[in-house]
């Protein structure tokens, strides 16, 4: 995008790139924080030491980086972020962020790792209302019941395949950087083996060990997540498909449905 990136100011004076803790609201089991960000805002690396977070945007698209992974999150989805896990967020387009913060003891069997989850219409409506709730709230009040219903809903959310793993190996990182900057690149394993001066089997072993997927699956996932970014800000399917190296919009739609279980139009509905 043409516009320059905008960093969120750091109140604690921490240097860029350092994981900083974020102060939490005391007392209540779950609360919602509402913030609106202009397009291309970058929220630097930080963590919430005492609470899990559901990173959700009513509008806009979030690109969340945590650990050795990257997630693309449109407004019908969210990211579950375990307490203490460092993460950074990029806002694609204007974003209305409505994040939930949950005490670990308030929810049974939460995901142990950062995960993309589906946001049902009911949960979206509950989060919208929760953003208006003042802290602290009484547990036996309407606000308290609203928050308990949110906790119930959070335990039913399916995990979604919106994750792109990032390798540690320098050779795979070189491939990954190319996939990020040129997702249409059709270079084969043999092409990369020649550039990196290693054999094909070495790349295959590295992909299995560090990514848990084949080279072809990795490249396909990188393309599909880049497609999510572009579709979510209003680009046409035909333009996205051709820009990412698919032979036709139908070929792209078929691959999209195979991976996400829905067509692009259904996914963003």
How confident is the model over 147-162, as a mean pLDDT?
A: 87
For residue 228, the model assigns a pLDDT of: 84
- Concatenating the DSSP letter of every residue in 46-109 gives EE-TT-EEEEEEEEEEEEEEETTEEEEE-TTEEEEE-TT--EEEEEEEEEEEEEEEE-GGGSSS
Contact 47, 21 (CB under 8 A): yes
Confidence at 21, pLDDT banded by 50, 70, 90 = low
For residue 53, pLDDT beyond 60: yes
Q: What is the pLDDT of residues 1-12, one digit of tens each?
A: 344 445 443 333
Instruction: Work out whether strand 41-47 and strand 6-7 pair parallel, antiparallel, or are unpaired.
Output: parallel
| CA of residue 209 relative to chain centroid, distance | 23
Confidence at 234, pLDDT banded by 50, 70, 90 = confident
Domains of the chain by start residue, with CATH: 6-160 (2.60.120.810), 167-267 (1.10.10.60)
For residue 218, the model assigns a pLDDT of: 92
Give every CB contact of residue 80 below 8 A, 6+ residues apart in sequence.
Answer: 52, 53, 54, 55, 110, 111, 114, 115, 116, 117, 157
Confidence at 171, pLDDT banded by 50, 70, 90 = very high
Average pLDDT, the chain: 85
Q: How many CB atoms lie within 10 A of CB 248?
A: 11
Top-confidence residue, 230 or 150: 150
Contact 178, 219 (CB under 8 A): no
Confidence at 56, pLDDT banded by 50, 70, 90 = very high
Q: What is the pLDDT of residues 73-94, one digit of tens each?
A: 888 889 999 999 999 999 988 8
* Bridge partner list, 80: 54, 115
Q: Which of 193, 181, 192, 191 lies closest to 244, judged by CA?
A: 181
- Judged by DSSP in three states, 166 sits in coil
Report the predicted TM-score, pTM, of the whole model to 2 decimal places: 0.73
How confident is the model over 22-26, as a mean pLDDT?
A: 49
* Bridge partner list, 57: 97
């Amino acid at each position: 995008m043409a516009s320059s990136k905008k960093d969120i100011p750091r109140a604690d004076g921490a240097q860029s790139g350092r994981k900083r803790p974020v102060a939490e609201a005391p007392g209540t089991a779950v609360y919602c924080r509402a913030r609106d960000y202009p397009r291309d805002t970058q929220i630097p690396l930080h963590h919430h030491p005492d609470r899990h977070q559901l990173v959700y945007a009513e509008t806009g698209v979030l690109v969340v980086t945590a650990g050795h992974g990257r997630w693309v999150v449109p407004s019908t989805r969210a990211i579950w972020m375990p307490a203490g896990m460092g993460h950074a967020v990029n806002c694609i387009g204007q974003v209305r962020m409505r994040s939930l913060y949950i005490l670990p003891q308030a929810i049974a069997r939460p995901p142990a790792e950062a995960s993309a989850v589906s946001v049902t219409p009911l949960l979206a409506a509950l989060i919208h209302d929760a953003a208006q709730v003042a802290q602290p709230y009484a547990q036996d009040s309407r606000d308290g019941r609203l928050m308990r219903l949110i906790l119930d809903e959070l335990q039913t959310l399916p995990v979604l395949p919106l994750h792109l793993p990032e390798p540690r190996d320098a050779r795979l990182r070189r491939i990954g950087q190319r996939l990020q900057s040129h997702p249409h690149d059709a270079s084969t394993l043999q092409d990369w083996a020649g550039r990196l001066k290693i054999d094909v089997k070495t790349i295959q072993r590295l992909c299995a060990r560090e990514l848990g997927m084949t080279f072809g699956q990795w490249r396909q996932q990188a393309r599909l997540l880049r497609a999510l970014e572009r579709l979510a800000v209003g680009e046409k399917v035909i333009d996205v498909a051709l820009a990412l190296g698919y032979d036709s919009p139908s070929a792209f739609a078929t691959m999209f449905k195979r991976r996400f279980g829905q067509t692009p139009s259904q996914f963003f509905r």
